[in-house]
Amino acid sequence: MIVGVVASGAGGVEQLRVGLVERLVALGYTVAVTLTPTAGWWLENVGEVGKLEVVTGLPVRSEPRMPGEPRPHPKADAYAVVPASANTVAKLALGIGDNQAMSVLCESVGSVPMVVFPRVNAAHARHPA
């Protein structure tokens, strides 16, 4: 089974490899990681992107591929959106695919099982929408 892990720039993203990806791989899953631009920038700066690629054997995506390039990730059987910032949750609800991570998720809503784990602060949690 292939699990697409999508992470956004929210608290806890720095624990993505140890807290989730390595555990899924140990259970026998193939894991394909896609990051929002902010999460990609954060994890690149702390040296986690390369470590994620070693663990998964796949490139970590945060940018779209060029036309004609092959898809670097296999088709996911399920998605885990962890952590999901308030921005990511709002974009997913509205179908806004304005970056690689959101495009992958928006294309999969309704056709691929998806678990979304919001990581929002108290002010975002109180928002009426």
pLDDT tens readout for residues 19-60: 999 999 999 999 999 999 999 999 999 999 999 999 999 999
Phi, psi dihedral angles at 113 (to 5 degrees)? -55, 140
DSSP SS3 for 65: coil
pLDDT at residue 92, rounded to an integer: 96
Q: What is the pLDDT of residue 90?
A: 93
Residue with tokens 């899924």: 24
Q: Closest Cα to residue 31, out of 1, 63, 9? A: 1
**Closest residue by Cα to residue 36 from 119, 113, 126:** 119
68-114 pLDDT per residue, tens? 999 999 999 999 999 999 999 999 999 999 999 999 999 999 999 99
pLDDT band at 123 (very low <50, low <70, confident <90, very high): confident
Domains and CATH numbers, the chain: 2-66+74-125 (3.40.50.1950)
Average pLDDT taken over every residue of the chain: 95
* Residue 81 one-letter amino acid: V
pLDDT-derived band at 126 (thresholds 50, 70, 90) equals confident
The rounded distance, in Å, linking the Cα atoms of 66 and 113 is 27
Kindly state the helix (H) or strand (E) to which residue 5 belongs, with its residue range: strand 2-7
Give dist(CA 31, CA 20) in Å, integer: 10
Give pLDDT, residue 97.
96
Indicate the pLDDT class of residue 128, thresholds 50, 70 and 90.
Answer: confident
- What is this structure's pTM? 0.93
Distances in whole angstroms, Cα of residue 88 to Cα of each of 12, 91, 94, 96: 15, 5, 10, 9
